[in-house]
Amino acid sequence: MEDIRNEVTGSYDASQIQVLEGLEAVRRRPGMYIGSTDERGLHQLVTEIVDNSVDEALAGFCTHIEVFIHEGNGVTVRDNGRGIPVGYHEKTGKDALEVALTILHAGGKFGGGGYKVSGGLHGVGLSCVNALSEKLRVEVRRDGKLHVQDYSRGIPLDSVHVEPGEVSETGTTVHFWPDPDIFDTLEFSYDTLRLRLRELAFLNAGLRITFTDERVEPHRVESYCYVGGIREFVTFLNKNKELLQPEPLYFSGVRMEGDMETASVEVAMQYNDGYNELILTYANNIATHEGGSHLVGFKAALTRVVNDYARKFNFLKATDQPLSGDDIREGLTAIISVKLEEPQFEGQTKTKLGNADIRPLVDGAVADKLSEYLAENPAQAKLIIEKCITASRARDAAGPGTRPGRPGS
Ligand code: 0RA
């Protein structure tokens, strides 16, 4: 057991013991906090740190996140947000920055009207990464000063101190070196990280993410910034395809409780001339591979609205069967992204969104905006409906057994 006395006070105070117990818990069962200690868990560390910066961007205070992989597999994540708060923290008697880096569940709601959405580790990201890093340095640019603290395996090596000189910008930088005692591998994959960082840029319109791999000469640098957000994501997924609409359709909606926005939904969709259905769903920037309430809401609204339109304008005769969900989703590429306060992740791989109240939110937004779009763009509507009817006939011609869900969604 290492000496756990507080370096400054020399005492084993209650909050210090709590911190050490938290650290111990994370280091003893890292899988409970980051999923695993293999390659996946290693990359999760980067995501956890980046998620904090993305939250700062969602709150409206950060426009640029930079990620570096250094030689020797250290990582730096830097943002231009407000900077993690520094200064005396009443409850613990420590610096607020140290609290953020050492106390599990120290995250909480963000100020500035935004709600904290990072799925990550329920807001324990920073302290977990700290506990699982052989070495970590945090730098906060705030109040014209550079505040710094160093850690090893989550234990502070010094107290928060100000480095000489002035800084003009604000922001947070975290440098960390994953602990070889914890992880099976320390080798970061450029492709894994670039995929995730680009996805985050697509999911958060206007946010710039710059990614630099310093392990190769010359360094590999890429920067992602999509003003169109998930519309550009759909365009990207549909590239090299023949398209039915010149631009993806885009719908959004929010849930308000009083004057507080407590959830939001964004949908982008575009048909191509192929037969595949590609719908990617996200909750709080996390891919929900098993779908869930947002996907159910989307499918229900899409199926209903397209059938209603087809009937109303006599694409379907009174005796015709309704178009099935599968018919309607043939050739469809879509992104559904919801942000909410307390996401419930369920299913085998914890990638199924459980929150039941998200279903009517998505259904409502898609139904309203899609009906409006079809009503205002009859030529586009005709193209879509005719494609669905073609799909339906092809499925009928293929014979029984090719219609698993009819007439459902
Ligand atoms: C809590 C409160 C405030 C900012 C942050 C956290 C914050 C955390 C991280 C983590 C990485 N980058 C970050 N940027 C900001 C707001 C403090 C204020 O009111 O100025």
Given a cut of 70, is residue 109 above it in pLDDT? no
Mean pLDDT for the chain overall: 91
CA-to-CA distance for 97 and 156, rounded, in angstroms? 11
The answer to whether 204 and 229 have CB atoms below 8 angstroms apart is yes
Confidence of residue 406 (pLDDT cuts 50, 70, 90): low
Which numbered atom of ligand 1 lies nearest the CA of 62?
A: 14
Confidence of residue 187 (pLDDT cuts 50, 70, 90): very high
The answer to whether 174 and 126 have CB atoms below 8 angstroms apart is yes
CA-to-CA distance for 188 and 44, rounded, in angstroms? 11
Given a cut of 50, is residue 141 above it in pLDDT? yes
Rounded to the nearest whole angstrom, what is the distance from the C-alpha of residue 38 to the centroid of ligand 1? Answer: 30
Rounded to the nearest whole angstrom, what is the distance from the C-alpha of residue 207 to the centroid of ligand 1? Answer: 17
Which CATH architecture group holds 24-224?
2-Layer Sandwich (3.30)
Given a cut of 60, is residue 2 above it in pLDDT? no
Rounded to the nearest whole angstrom, what is the distance from the C-alpha of residue 166 to the centroid of ligand 1? Answer: 20
Check residue 273 and report its DSSP letter.
S
Given a cut of 80, is residue 397 above it in pLDDT? yes
pTM of the model: 0.91
Q: What confidence score (pLDDT) does residue 409 get? A: 47
Do you know the residue count of the chain? 409
Q: What percent of the chain has pLDDT over 90?
A: 83
DSSP per residue over 179-222, as a string?
-TTT-S-----HHHHHHHHHHHHHHSTT-EEEEEETTSSSPEEE
The answer to whether 174 and 138 have CB atoms below 8 angstroms apart is yes
- Parse the chain into domains and list their residue ranges: 24-224, 230-398
Domain 230-398 has CATH 3.40.30.160: no
Is 52 a pocket residue for ligand 1 (Cβ < 6 Å)?
yes
Nearest protein CA to atom 12 of ligand 1, as residue: 53
Q: Token pair of 23, please?
A: 């650290």
Nearest protein CA to atom 17 of ligand 1, as residue: 85
Rounded to the nearest whole angstrom, what is the distance from the C-alpha of residue 51 to the centroid of ligand 1? Answer: 12
CA-to-CA distance for 86 and 71, rounded, in angstroms? 30
User: Do 230-398 and 24-224 have the same topology in CATH?
Assistant: no
Q: What confidence score (pLDDT) does residue 110 get? A: 36
Given a cut of 50, is residue 112 above it in pLDDT? no
pLDDT tens digits along 28-69: 999 988 989 999 999 999 999 999 999 999 999 999 999 999
Q: Residues 165-192: what's their mean pLDDT? A: 97
CA-to-CA distance for 149 and 127, rounded, in angstroms? 13
Which numbered atom of ligand 1 lies nearest the CA of 77?
A: 11
Rounded to the nearest whole angstrom, what is the distance from the C-alpha of residue 5 to the centroid of ligand 1? Answer: 28
Specify the range with the lowest mean pLDDT, choosing from 16-25, 320-329, 347-356, 379-388.
16-25
Query: What angle in degrees, to the nearest 10, is found between the helix axes of 378-397 and 293-312?
Result: 100
Q: Token pair of 378, please?
A: 């009859």
Write the CA distances from 113 to 62, 86, 229, 327, integer angstroms. 14, 21, 21, 42
Tokens 């048909």 sit at which residue?
Answer: 271
Q: Residues 190-210: what's their mean pLDDT? A: 98
Q: Residues 123-140: what's their mean pLDDT? A: 92
